[in-house]
Amino acid sequence: MGKSADQVYKKVLIAGLTTLPPAVVRLILMSSDCAVLVLSLTLTTIFLHGVPADVWPPEQFWAYAATLVAGAVSVTLFRLHRIKLVILSASDVLTILHSSAVIASICFVTTWLGGGSRAVEMGIGVGVFAFAGLTGSRALAVKVLSGTRHQLCKRRKVAIFGAGTAGVRAASTLSRTTSAQVAGFFDDNRSLQGMEIGGVPVWSPEAMVSKIRKHHIETLVIALPDAAQSRRARVRDLCETAGVKVEFLPNSIDLLVSGAGPRLRGVDARDLLDRQNVDLNLPEVGANYTGRVIMVTGAGGSIGSELCQQLLNFRPAKIVLFDMSEFNLYSIDMALKRRAEEFGVDIEPYLGTITDRARLQHVIRSQRVEIILHAAAYKHVPMVEGNVVEGVRNNIFGTKRLAEVAVETGVSQFVLVSSDKAVRPKGLMGATKRISELILQDMQTRNDRTKFSMVRFGNVLGSSGSMLPLFVSQIDAGGPVTVTHPDASRYFMTVQEASRLVLLAGAFAEGGDVFVLDMGEPQSILAIAKKLIQLSGLAVRDPISGEGDVEIAFIGLRPGEKLHEELFWDPDNLFSTHHPKIFRAQEACLSQFEVAGLLRELQHAIDASDEDRVRSVALGYARGCSQTRRLGISHDVPVREKRCL
């Protein structure tokens, strides 16, 4: 019984009386406020008329009754009994001031009408004492309950970088929780340093490491806009030095869309890219898709779903979702419906595979599709290496069938999502992407109804099955974090950048184009793994001393993987576009007879279930086409100097 009562007591204290029924909480607060009013009247009367009750004027007792009734009504009208005892804000204090002014006015009128003396002084005195009592009692309750919650819950210490509007709002939200206590702000603004905001000190970033260690801060919340990428990077570096976990506030657009208060998020793809996100906003993108019927294959995947979300902003007439996974299709359909209704965009989900010609013909014809964004593919390198026949059947022959149906049905644009693994491919997945490019380039030479284009980019951080979610899950499990090779590097981009690049390709396409994005320098996978561990508030385990939290294990390159990736075959054959960060690659292609021979050989090998032959043919053609004829594109200015893409 004692243990149960103790648990109830703690629960009430931790929740700030909110675990009690609302009527009980309001009754307690109302009783407390009435007691404050009685004390206010008593103190005022003593102050004006002396201590002995027998010399108080009789009308003073009528003032007690009238003021108590009026006070109870005022407390109810101003909803003072509904102020939650977890924080006392400026608006709460202002509400109490208004209520106290009303009580003072009623006390003055009652005393004056009753013929009492010093009515003005009575009103002022009661108002001042009431305001002090109502505010002080609540401030004391908040302080006591907050301290008790801290003792009982052992809240983690949190600091916030950025004492602007977002940071202050985050501090207010965190102070209401039972899990975190804001120890201080860090801010570059020297006029704020040394001051306090809501009782929380503002420190200089130069003192970050020492303050974090002195106050035992476990987490640093970064409340800076995404545009301040360089500042965010410097803060992350300091956090690595201090060994503190990093969390981020969502950007202002996310807050407006969600309609919620600040919600912390962990490290994501944008925080790991040591470069500015590429701005891919151009007017021609919207003009290309507005009012059109657009089909997205692989609509439930990482790239496909982001494409659909971004397409809504351009208000197409209809988005046709095509995916072979029922669950993925259901998920993206449900995710889009609400926004689609707001934008007046029709959403049509279809189950099917790109290898089924009849299904493709039915969907494209019935929906009168005008643009196809082709993101359906088997993309995981080891998985395709272990399923050679299905990988080729889906990625190569599926793309061919979809492209043929697009031409037959009069689709105006066809954009293929390709990969940097298509350049000098080592594995089968890259080979299937390169051959898909070659097929579309060949079809472009014999067709002028449909504009084919390809978009080639590196790894998409945060996509399903990619490195980032794998590393996060491994860190959460305590390690080890598996890295293929200490020297392995990749080009990385966010899913938002990748999807916008696909949309831009449709706007820039002239026919047979291969687009690549300037993605900066390739990044070390090992360095990203270390940074992710450190930004999670942990330390990389030293293999010799054994000190640290999370081990990094090297597992070797998997079948089909390269140590370093490339985005193009020859830097001298890059052409500029309307965007300074996007280039068009003029590359070698196969003749119609060579493509037909390639597909015939692959089909024979598939029919015989000869995986070795399938792999040999695909890799042979994909690697050996660089010296064949080039697709004629002369409408751009070539980029002569070698670029690091």
Write out the catalytic residue numbers.
421
83-99 per-residue burial string, b: 16 or more CB within 10 A, e: under 16: bebbebeeebeebbbeb
Distance CA 311, CA 370 (A): 14
Distance CA 351, CA 444 (A): 28
Give the DSSP letter string of 537-559: T--BPPTTT--SSB-EEE--PPT
Residue 391 corresponds to which tokens in the numbers above?
A: 């990988």
Amino acid, single-letter form, for residue 171: A
Q: Choose among 396, 411, 416: nearest CA to 447.
A: 411
* Integer CA distances (angstroms), 386 to 92, 352, 381, 427, in order: 65, 23, 9, 11
Bridge partners of residue 293, in order along the sequence:
318
Distance CA 404, CA 394 (A): 15
Peptide bond into 469 cis (omega under 30): no
- Contact (Cβ atoms closer than 8 angstroms) between residue 129 and residue 44: yes
- Output Rg (C-alpha) for the chain, integer angstroms: 34
Write the burial class of residue 185 (CB in 10 Å: 0-12 exposed, 13-18 middle, 19+ buried): buried
Give the N- to C-terminal CA distance of the chain in Å, as an integer. Answer: 70
Q: Which residue is it, tokens 């702000």?
A: 185
- Contact (Cβ atoms closer than 8 angstroms) between residue 265 and residue 250: yes
Q: Choose among 201, 163, 172: nearest CA to 89.
A: 172
Q: Which residue is it, tokens 């020859």?
A: 570
- Angle between helix 59-77 and helix 90-113 axes, rounded to 10 deg: 150
Distance CA 401, CA 124 (A): 87
Bridge partners of residue 259, in order along the sequence:
none
* Integer CA distances (angstroms), 615 to 340, 487, 598, 638, in order: 43, 27, 12, 35
Cα angle: 265, vertex 266, 270; to 5 degrees: 95
Distance CA 421, CA 564 (A): 10
Residues sharing a CB contact under 8 Å with residue 81, sequence separation 6 or more, in sequence order: 25, 26, 29, 30, 33, 75
Four-point Cα dihedral 178, 179, 183, 189, nearest 10: -100
